[in-house]
Amino acid sequence: MPRNFLRILDVDNDTAAALVARAIEMKKAAFRGATFAGKHAVLIFEKASTRTRLSFEVAVHQLGGQTIFMTPHESQLGRSEPLRDTARVISRYADCIVVRTFGQEKVEELVRYADVPVVNALTDSYHPCQVLCDVMTMTERTPDLSGVKVAWIGDGNNMANSWISAAARFPFALTLACPEGYDPDAAVLAEARAQGARVDLVRDPYEAADGAHYVNTDVWASMGQEAEQKEREAAFAGFIVDDELLARAAAGVKVMHCLPAHRGEEITDAVMEGPASIVFDQAENRLHIQKAILEWVMA
């Protein structure tokens, strides 16, 4: 059975911690390896990407391998060839599948039919590689996360679900402020809480930000929700990470965003460009965490 990385909740605490530690070590060493020597990773992306695609491609290359990037537009996926057939075909050529798609059931279907590891590069439900990267980014600054409060301001989306999952694996406390109707997945919340996650859900962004060491946000309309942009703008009014909100946070608060950001919507330009922002360190760390994840799934 190949190893897969679909959700943070699917790996145990030790594995999650080891992946973060390994990524930090790889970053320090500017690590180059041979995990993928003579091997190929196929990247299936059904949604747009800058960071995830580039960091996975560079990561595979730095691990000695080759990548093939595939979208529905120029493959038979766009002409309705089922994923289960695609998974079996890729397994005959390549050694790993990195997939960005819509429903979580699609990555689960890939796993069922593929004979090679599958890595979730974002679904509507989760963005596990990003949030593991975000935990790495916090750990570099705060090695002991047990006294850390993380605030999530905005949509209860794939990122929020992954942060909740991470709170079950790492000892930080998480408070999410989401507008009514935009809560994170209740099942994910229950699963994470049952495994010890310290997670609070509130409606007031200022309450979430209160005393927070890390403040996180994300776009109001995720990929696939473009048609809801206008109604979301109304629902998320006030859920903006600005200097006023940061004044409620702990001294030295850091601001995180997985990017791409919509300046003037969920975050101000001043905060993005200001001293609290660590968004580009976060973006850099995608590369290091992808190498750790790829090494782990291929082991």
From 218, 257, 288, 290, the catalytic residue:
218
- Establish if 50 lies at the interface with ligand CP (CB under 6 A): yes
- Angstrom distance (rounded) from CA 24 to CA 11: 18
What residue number has its CB nearest to ligand NVA?
222
CB of 288 to ligand CP, least distance (A): 14
Nearer to ligand CP, 22 or 127 (CB): 127
**C-alpha angle 99/162/47, rounded to 5°?**
30
- Please give the structure tokens belonging to residue 124: 């509507």
Cα 291 to chain centroid distance, Å, stands at 15
Q: Is 130 labeled as catalytic in the residue annotation?
A: yes
17 counts as binding ligand CP under rule CB under 6 A: no
| By CB under 6 A, residue 222 contacts ligand NVA | yes
User: Do 111 and 4 contact (CB within 8 A), yes or no?
Assistant: yes
What residues pair up with 257 in beta bridges, in sequence order?
217
Residue 218 lies near ligand NVA (rule: CB under 6 A): yes
Residue type, 239: F
Based on the residue annotation, tell me whether 286 is a catalytic residue of this protein: yes
Q: Does 159 bind ligand NVA (CB under 6 A)?
A: yes
- 160 three-class SS: helix
Nearer to ligand NVA, 36 or 56 (CB): 56
Q: Is 295 in the site for ligand NVA (CB under 6 A)?
A: no
Query: Position 236: which residue type?
Result: F
* Residues within the interface to ligand NVA (CB under 6 A): 122, 127, 157-159, 218-219, 222-223, 258
